[in-house]
Structure 1
Amino acid sequence: MADQTAENVGGSPDGRRFIPNSPRAVRAAQFRASRLVVLMKLILPALALAIIALIVSWPQLIPDHTKFRLGDKVKSVFVAATDGLSMDQPRYVGVDEEHRPYEVTASRASQQSHGDDRLDLVNPQADLAVNDVEWMALSAATGVYDKKQQTIDLAGGVTVFHDRGYTVTSDTAQVLLDKGMATSDDPVSAHGQSGIATGEGFRIYDRGERIIFTGKSKITFFPAQIQGGKPQGVN
């Protein structure tokens, strides 16, 4: 009778082992599924927090050297403070006695301390406005700018260019920014539309309105360019 019941129900005596166990298997599967849901509820938020933390910390892990970083800047300032202070691409502006503007720029400036009025300049250039439309520029390899005295001592090859088209070169020169003057006691050469000149020094007054060559000097005029019997820009 037992075998017949087994055949009717499962077709095999072995079928009697699985029928009573089916509800237990269902409950086990449901339990495992519920545990998986609980684990996912814990894992997914933790994974999201980890991704957010990685995004926030990524610039620190792989820094961009093209951007300003405070840590590097502070370090460089402290290092420079042991031997003085320095600045890249400085720019200083002012006006002379007649309220005409001037500007001093350089690729680099350094000074011994905050209270020092003198700055050592690399590749300095001074631009002085002659009037509303004309200007004069002086450049050199090195220079010392005195903020209090408003002077620049240029060295390493000085070039003076005036907007009227003439150029003066010398080894050194001192520029008096407040007076619009430039002087040198080194050999000088000049050339422009009016002619060429050499001398043992020069004096430039009123921002290039007058130039005087000192010592043994030689001037060659270009007659076609002389206006009124006098070369333009040369005295």
Structure 2
Amino acid sequence: MTTLDANRGAFKRDLRRWRRRSRRVLLARVALPIAMVAVLAAVGGQVAWRTFTAGDRRPADTKAQIRMITPRFYGQSSDGRPFVITARSAVRDEADLKRVFLDAPTLTLGVGSPAPTRSTADRGVYREDTLKLQLFGNVRLDDGAGYRFASNEALVDTRNGNITGETTLQGEGPTGQVQSNAYSVYDKGDRIVFRGGVKTRIDRKTGQAVAE
């Protein structure tokens, strides 16, 4: 082989390497921008998805409720009678901090008096701004004078001691039994009004029950 042939062979090998390198460089120039665009699209899509799904998450999912165990709420009615509300547990409404949900509440009106009025229920809602207590489920009222009443709902205004219920009531006491579709208790329990479907009339020494 002559020197010229050797130079031609080396030139051809160099040319093939140069062409391969040129193809790789060209491929990199095309592939890299495409890869960068794909990465940016993926990142943008992930951010958009997180932003979209964040609107579906409720703050309550990440915020634990604060439960009070055996809470006690004290107050005084307009005529000076003290009252106390107790419960097995309580949870304050995060949307309305003046509203408290009670589990197994007990209301005692006239604490310290000879004949306090006591009301119990399965559940209750107490408003600290209006001092009104709503009772639900197995409501039991005891006026402290031998009269006991049972209903499913009751609204107690602790400011004046009045109790009302737009639900079936069954009661019993020293003078007999009574049943009605609605009821109201006034004057510290001395006056009770039964409404709708009343089956009996009860007269008391300290007041009266009126059938309507």
TM-score (norm 1): 0.59
1:26-175 equivalent positions in 2, closer than 5 A: 82-113=63-94, 116-129=97-110, 132-175=113-156
Match of 2:204 in 1: 231
Which secondary structure does the structure 1 equivalent of 2:188 belong to?
Answer: helix
Matched with 2:182 is 201
Alignment partners' CA distance in 2, 1:143 and 1:81: 26
Q: Say if 2:199 is the partner of 1:218.
A: yes
More strand as a share of residues: 2
Unaligned runs of 5+ in 1: 1-78, 222-229
Alpha carbons of 1:196 and 1:83: their partners in 2 closer, same or farther (altered >3 Å)?
A: same
CA-CA distance at 1:81 after TM superposition: 8.4
- Change in Cα spacing, 1:191 to 1:141, as seen in structure 2 (3 Å) is same
1:207 Cα shift?
2.3
Unaligned runs of at least 5 residues, structure 2: 1-59
Query: Partners in 2 of 1:219 and 1:206 — Cα distance?
Result: 21
Structure 2 counterpart of 1:17: none
**2:30 — aligned with what?**
none
AA aligned to 2:80 is H
- 8 Å contact from structure 2 (residues 78, 159) kept in 1: yes
User: How many residues are paired up?
Assistant: 149
Structure 1 residues 113 and 162: CA distance shift in structure 2, 3 A: same
Which of structures 1 and 2 has the bigger CA Rg?
A: 1
- Superposition deviation, residue 80 in structure 1: 11
Q: Residue type of the partner of 1:189?
A: Q
Cα distance in 1 between the residues matched to 2:62 and 2:162: 35
The one-letter code of the counterpart of 1:106 is: A
CA distance in 2, matches of 1:162, 1:210: 11
Whether the 8 Å CA contact 2:93–2:101 is kept in 1: the answer is: no
- Displacement, 1:164? 0.5
Runs of 4+ with deviation above 6 angstroms: none
Please say if residues 83 and 112 of structure 1, whose CA atoms lie closer than 8 Å, have aligned partners that are also in contact.
no
- Residue 220 of structure 1, CA deviation: 5.7
Deviations 1:39-93 (A, max 9, x none): xxxxxxxxxxxxxxxxxxxxxxxxxxxxxxxxxxxxxxxx998143210000011
* Whole-angstrom distance in 2 between the partners of 1:207 and 1:123: 23
Secondary structure in 1 aligned to 2:124? strand
**Equivalent residue letter for 2:114:** V
Identity within the alignment, %: 26
Query: Is 2:173 the counterpart of 1:192?
Result: yes
Q: Structure 2: how far apart are the matches of 1:112 and 1:220?
A: 42
1:8-49 per-residue CA deviation (whole Å, 9 max, x = no partner) reads xxxxxxxxxxxxxxxxxxxxxxxxxxxxxxxxxxxxxxxxxx
Given the alignment, which residue of 165, 181, 184 partners 2:162? 181
SS in 2 for 1:172: strand
The DSSP-based 3-state class of the residue aligned with 2:63 is helix
Distance 1:210 1:80 in 2: 48
Contact 1:125/1:138 (8 A) holds in 2: yes
Report the residue type matching 1:88 in the other structure.
I
Q: Please say if residues 85 and 112 of structure 1, whose CA atoms lie closer than 8 Å, have aligned partners that are also in contact.
A: no
- The separation in 1 between residues aligned to 2:201 and 2:194, in whole angstroms, is 13
